[in-house]
Structure 1
Amino acid sequence: MKTNAELYMNKLEGIFGQEDVIRKVEPSDGSTPIHVFFYYDLPEEGMLTAVTYGLSDGEFIGWKNAKPELIISLETQDESWGLAAAYFAAEFRGVKTFSYADLFTLDEPISQESDMTGYFVFASAILEKEESVIELPDKTIQLVGMYPLYKEEFDLMKRIGIKDFWHNKDYDIYSVSRANLVRA
């Protein structure tokens, strides 16, 4: 009998193909690690997609129909972006819902290629709704997208809301070098 982790990996392979590398992030509380699966040149050449596993092993009162796992897809080859998402999963598992518009931030930039310091949660941009739901024997997983933000954009997001932020003509969901919308 396969474990949830093995079944999940099989589902990911069916969606994305074989992962290029798997990394592990250890939570500061010593609980089970978060694994992050990296897919280079996916969905297009020059892009990186990263998907977590382990967040859904936690419990949170707000998780009723499904438990989240995180997915990022960016125009980069820097694994720091996926590792940051895994870090947030490791540190906030059971603490935050990881629901649409949730914000996560660091004190320093996520990657040397950008001054962005955090993420907001929204629907995955590269998966159809049906593909973002993974049924396992004892839980349903919803893959939710993580999108990077500049520090100054956190207040903008709170002020104008996720819909207006997402539809801003200068917002590029895949770019790690896009203009800061507060300064644009």
Structure 2
Amino acid sequence: MVSRAERYLAHLDRLSGGREPHFFPVESTKQGLQGVTEIVYGDLPDGLLTALTYGLSLAEHPDWQHGSPELCLSVNSSNVVWAHAVGFLAEQLRGACPFSYGSTIDFGERIVRESEMTAFCVFAPLALGRDDYLGIDVGVSGHEGHDVINIQGMYPIHEVERQFINEHGLEAFWKSDWDPTDVLRCPAI
């Protein structure tokens, strides 16, 4: 029998063309929940570090009516600490944060040493097409109900941008002149 995790990984294998990712486990701090796994691809798409999570969707949140999220980050960097930051947030905030479009998350410090960014915002994933990130059926035999994962994009941002999004909304920020993959950029606001 194929597990839920195996169905999700098969989906990612199809999207990556069978490229072998690196797996980094994040130990669970939530009683009764397995840990989170960071699934990291170097240079996919070209020049970007892309990291996805598995394990966030094992939790429950009242806002998750049409599927539960996993996270995806694509940045112009080779520093795997970006992936670790997203895995850490997925594990720490599962069940508490909805990770819905427009959500902002204050990391509380620089995410990586070489970047001034200290926060993330959530929106559609940059590196995936709509059919590839919404409605991923991971249900297994014997599971009651609908088991769907929706992959949410995580975008590193500056604190001033996080505050702007919280005051004016994600759409106003998204229309500004910025490169969502550039982790060394100046604030767009």
Q: Which TM-score tier does this pair reach, normalised by the shorter chain?
A: over 0.9
Q: Distance in 2 between matches of 1:66 and 1:91?
A: 19
1:107 Cα deviation after fit: 2.0
Q: Which moved more, 1:16-25 or 1:121-130?
A: 16-25
The corresponding residue for 1:62 is: 63
- Whether the 8 Å contact between 1:19 and 1:37 is mirrored in structure 2 is no
The corresponding residue for 2:143 is: none
Secondary structure of the structure 2 residue equivalent to 1:141: strand
Q: Distance in 2 between matches of 1:32 and 1:164?
A: 37
Q: Distance in 2 between matches of 1:127 and 1:40?
A: 15
Q: Distance in 2 between matches of 1:70 and 1:25?
A: 14
Q: Distance in 1 between matches of 2:37 and 2:55?
A: 6
The corresponding residue for 2:24 is: 23
- Superposed CA deviations along residues 12-54 of structure 1, whole A, max 9, x for unmatched, are 000013333100112334542110111111111x210000000
1:136 Cα deviation after fit: 1.2
- Whether the 8 Å contact between 1:37 and 1:50 is mirrored in structure 2 is yes
1:103 Cα deviation after fit: 1.2
Q: Distance in 2 between matches of 1:27 and 1:176?
A: 28
Q: Distance in 2 between matches of 1:43 and 1:66?
A: 26
Secondary structure of the structure 2 residue equivalent to 1:69: strand
Runs of 4+ in structure 1 off by over 4 angstroms are none
- Superposed CA deviations along residues 95-146 of structure 1, whole A, max 9, x for unmatched, are 1111001111222111122011111100111211111121111511001100
Secondary structure of the structure 1 residue equivalent to 2:28: coil
Secondary structure of the structure 2 residue equivalent to 1:163: helix
1:78-93 map, 5 Å:
78-93=79-94
- Whether the 8 Å contact between 1:27 and 1:87 is mirrored in structure 2 is no
Unaligned runs of 5+ in 2: 140-145
User: Quick one: which amino acid aligns to residue 104 of structure 2?
Assistant: L
* Equivalent residue in structure 2 for 1:172, among 173, 179, 182: 179
1:152 Cα deviation after fit: 2.1
Unaligned runs of 5+ in 1: none
Q: Distance in 2 between matches of 1:107 and 1:61?
A: 25
Q: Distance in 1 between matches of 2:87 and 2:127?
A: 19
Q: Distance in 2 between matches of 1:81 and 1:116?
A: 11
CA RMSD of aligned residues (A): 1.3
- Whether the 8 Å contact between 2:13 and 2:19 is mirrored in structure 1 is yes
User: In percent, how many aligned pairs have the same letter?
Assistant: 33
Give TM-score, length-normalised by structure 1. Answer: 0.93
The corresponding residue for 1:2 is: 2
